[in-house]
Chains A and B, each alone.
Chain A
Amino acid sequence: MIKRIEEWLNASGRTEVLGVMRIAIGCLLFTQAFDAFGELQRVGYFGDNFHMPLIADRFVATRAFYTYMLTARLILAVIVALGIQARPALFLSSLMGIYVLLCDKLEFHHNRYALLLYAFILALTPCDKSWRLNGRRQNVDQVGPMWGVWLGRLQVSIIYLGSGGSKLFDPDWRDGTMVAQRFVRYGHEAIDKGVPQFFMDFLATPLMTGLIAKGAIFSELFIAFGLQFKRTRRAALWWGMIFHLMIETTSAVELFTYVTLVAYAFFVTPDVGARKFEFDGSRWQGKFLGRTIRLLDWFSRFEVSAWSTETATSKHLCVLTRREGTRVTGLDAWAGVAEATPLLFLAWAPTFILAGVLRRRAKA
């Protein structure tokens, strides 16, 4: 047991995924600080108005200190994204952000807090070894300890567990009362956007609100636990994406969707170049596909190459060699590409299921 814990704490891995995460978190930290700056310009220093500090008044940031801190957070966010002293910058950014939340809890929002926690955790990972301003894709030292990544994975699940667990123990959530009330309050907005009245009335029935509530609770708990196991991870990530896109379109949640989607990258296996994507370099379609995959392969998971016209024997445009070594074409190849490409990941489940159905039919 102790040996396993020690192996887990000392495990190393490639850092390309963490580099991409660092850039994304840097951009989100910049957005957060920039919004706070806008608030400062528009409303003024929070200490001049009603505010609710969680710390003693004498420790609350003064106007000058708050302004300097916001400026520092903007600069730190930029250097996080660029990869210059990124880990100390992430650490400082998260501490300053949490300090601001303690100065005025009216500033507290789950998404802001979650972003600061992820920034803190990312500071514990070797996220500064890749995708940095100098030596962006050099492979020389792009390996580092991965224990922070495991902590990040736990943090993602903790959030779902906190949210899903609290709903599970709330009778108003379990029986659909809470969902029904949301329909009462916001249903007209959906109707204004073109959703038919009869459909909204159907959704607002006790049966449907009960089912929707139970579905939401199950979703959060499934994502919380499913993410932690290899067999269910892909499905949990895919459903999580759908879940958050639904929330993004129906509720105002500031940066929460983006923060969570970036945090999902903690679950990406750092297997650089473990898949081979070969395309027909003699056809423009093949070249286009090759370029597109290179462009979308942010996590460096593919070795992309054209097969030469002399050796080309396939009638296919592209062939994917999967991580375990099997070569696939057609829908199977696209499912394999979507599975490992963040921007295409939403297409993974439907492509994977369709490919399976077609394969079974072909066998029959």
Chain B
Amino acid sequence: MPFQAGLHGWAIARASVVILYLGVQGALIATAGSRADNAFGFRMFNESSSLEAHLFREVDSPSGHGTVRVEAHDGKWRTKDDAGKLHRFDWYDRVKSGAVSPLDQNVHASYGAAAQVERLHAALDDVAAHVSGDSETRALVLILDVSKNGRPPERAEFTAKVAQ
């Protein structure tokens, strides 16, 4: 006997909701691994990883050839524009969420190393896109030392061109 032939009235509607709900839940859990933060997959306490992130600026080399890197301690830096006016910049003016690891500190990687790497990379792109009035900085560079579950740290580096 076909499935629906045996069910009547409300039972069909209820069965449809149950199947749809469980199907969506099953799909979200099965695919959680494909998302850096395993969102919607209920993978609690998935890692005990740590990371340390440092922000650098790429500015024109004094020699006139290429660029050099200057560290922006705690995400802060200052530049002067062509008119000599001082501008202050701060990573945390844009990145205010506690879900993103802070800079220059060795911290627990909340929701796992991959999640924090993804978030910090996206934050870097966002900050670089919102820097205005900085005629010195060519690009922002984020260097991450990521230690997954106590293993020796691995370095990752991301660069984002600053919108001039």
Q: Which residues of A line the B interface, CB within 8 A?
A: 2-3, 5-6, 9-10, 43-44, 46, 49-52, 105-108, 110, 113-114, 121, 124, 145, 147, 151, 154-155, 158-159, 161-163, 166-167, 170, 172, 177-182, 184-185, 251
Contact = CB atoms under 8 A, between A and B. Distances in A.
Interface of B: 1, 3, 6-8, 10-11, 14-15, 17-18, 21-22, 25, 29, 32, 37-50, 94-97, 99-100, 108, 119, 122-123, 126-127, 149-150
B25 A155 contact: yes
B44 A110 contact: yes
A181 B29 contact: no
Contact of A151 (B6, B21, B150): B21
Given A49-B96, A155-B25, A177-B150, A110 B42 contact: yes
Given A9-B11, A50-B100, A108-B39, A124 B150 contact: no
Contact of B6 (A6, A10, A52, A124): A6
Contact of A158 (B3, B15, B25, B94): B25
Contact of A50 (B38, B47, B96): B96
A166 B119 CA distance: 22
B94 A50 contact: yes
Contact of A6 (B8, B22, B48, B97): B8
A329 B38 CA distance: 51
B6 A106 contact: no
A162 B50 CA distance: 23
Contacts of B99: 106-107
A42 B14 CA distance: 43
B150 A50 contact: no
B100 A106 contact: yes
Contacts of A107: 99
The 9 closest A-B pairs by CB, nearest first: A2-B6, A162-B42, A181-B48, A106-B99, A166-B43, A50-B126, A9-B11, A181-B150, A106-B97
Contacts of A151: 17-18, 21-22
A156 B21 CA distance: 13
A169 B29 CA distance: 14
Majority-rule SS of A interface residues:
helix
Given A106-B99, A166-B41, A10 B150 contact: no
A44 B8 CA distance: 51
Given A172-B47, A177-B150, 9 more contacts: A6-B11, A50-B123, A110-B44, A147-B18, A151-B21, A155-B25, A161-B29, A166-B42, A167-B46
Given A50-B123, A50-B126, A182-B48, A162 B6 contact: no
B126 A162 contact: no
Find the residue from B10, B25, B29, B96 having the highest chain A CB count within 10 A.
Answer: B96
A117 to B, nearest CB: 8
A139 to B, nearest CB: 24
Contacts of A110: 42, 44
Contacts of A147: 14, 18
A178 B48 contact: yes
Nearest to A180: B150
Given A49-B95, A155-B25, A163 B44 contact: yes
B122 A2 contact: no
Contacts of B45: 163, 167, 178, 182, 251
A105 B15 contact: no
A99 to B, nearest CB: 14
Nearest to B18: A151
B29 A172 contact: no
Nearest to B12: A9
B15 A9 contact: yes
Contacts of B96: 43-44, 49-50
B149 A177 contact: yes
B122 A52 contact: yes
A94 B136 CA distance: 47
Contacts of B127: 50
Contacts of B7: 2, 5-6, 9
Contacts of A52: 119, 122
Contacts of A46: 97
B42 A159 contact: yes
Contacts of B40: 108, 113
Contacts of B43: 162-163, 166
